[in-house]
């Protein structure tokens, strides 16, 4: 009985997540979120600079803007996953 309840709960959670994620991906156009444009330049900078974080300079915010001052784990992981991809075009 407990196994059935766990299975139903997990199925409900996953189904709800997939539904919400699907609706979000259809309703919100790509690059519509205010800071989504700046996440990739941050990842790109880290991947192309030996996984070094950018030095913050208030006079020159860089193409990543406020993303350069956020916690770097997401950006380091993304840079590691995308470092081998040719982005020259």
Residue 30 pLDDT > 90: no
Structure tokens at 56: 């913050």
The predicted structure's pLDDT at residue 81: 92
Instruction: Find out whether 47 and 82 touch, Cβ atoms under 8 Å.
Output: yes
Structure tokens at 17: 């997540």
The predicted structure's pLDDT at residue 33: 66
DSSP string, 25-81: HHHS-TT-STTHHHHHHHHHHHHHTTTPPPPP-TT---TTGGGGGS-SHHHHHHHHH
> Which uninterrupted H or E stretch holds 60?
none
Q: Is the whole model's pTM more than 0.75, yes or no? A: no
Dist CA 89 CA 4 (whole Å): 51
Dist CA 41 CA 32 (whole Å): 16
């Amino acid at each position: 009985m407990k196994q059935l309840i766990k299975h139903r709960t997990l199925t409900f959670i996953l189904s709800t997540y997939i539904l919400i994620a699907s609706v979000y991906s259809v309703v919100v156009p790509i690059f519509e979120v205010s800071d989504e444009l700046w996440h990739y330049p941050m990842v790109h900078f880290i991947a192309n600079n030996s996984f070094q974080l950018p030095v913050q300079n208030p006079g020159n915010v860089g193409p990543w803007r406020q993303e350069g001052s956020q916690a770097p784990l997401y950006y380091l992981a993304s840079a590691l996953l995308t470092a081998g991809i040719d982005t020259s075009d």
